[in-house]
Amino acid sequence: MAALLKWLMLIMGIACAAIGAYHLVLGIDSIPGETTAGATVDSRERFYNAIFLGFGLAWVWAARQSPIPAWAVRWLAGIFLLGGLGRLLSLVVHGTPHWFQVPLTVLELVLPPVFFWLATADERAQNRTSASTR
């Protein structure tokens, strides 16, 4: 379970950082189904994605700790879940988005409970190892 947690966190971090960098560089042109926006919307898109890039780097940082701190996993997963809830709110207020946003919403709602479940895996594994060497 500890290895699964580490690999899922690394994949999550690399994916978020890559997506953030992609959107940061391309701005509004990176959004499926959107063709025009003013400078304000493009600026906001690039700003938020710089933060998303940092969010991905935080996942990678946490995955490289020993043991992986459960509090960090829970915080990062909680933030990701908030993003999914934000998409649901948008769906209720504005209707169905571009089709690509739907599977992203599903991932943002399904993955956090997996991370919440695995959050303490590395700490428990390290505790078992240290207890068996005493």
Q: Say how far apart CA 52 and CA 94 lie, in whole Å.
A: 23
Q: Say how far apart CA 61 and CA 50 lie, in whole Å.
A: 16
**What pLDDT, on a 0 to 100 scale, did the predictor assign at position 128?**
74
**What pLDDT, on a 0 to 100 scale, did the predictor assign at position 118?**
95
Question: Which amino acid is it at 61?
Answer: W
**What pLDDT, on a 0 to 100 scale, did the predictor assign at position 81?**
98
Alpha-carbon torsion 45, 46, 51, 53, what sign?
A: positive
Q: Say how far apart CA 70 and CA 64 lie, in whole Å.
A: 13
Where the chain has pLDDT below 70, the residues are 130, 132-134
**What pLDDT, on a 0 to 100 scale, did the predictor assign at position 60?**
98
Give pTM, 2 decimals. 0.88
**What pLDDT, on a 0 to 100 scale, did the predictor assign at position 16?**
98
**What pLDDT, on a 0 to 100 scale, did the predictor assign at position 129?**
72
**What is the total count of domains within the chain?**
1
- Residue 81's domain comprises 1-133
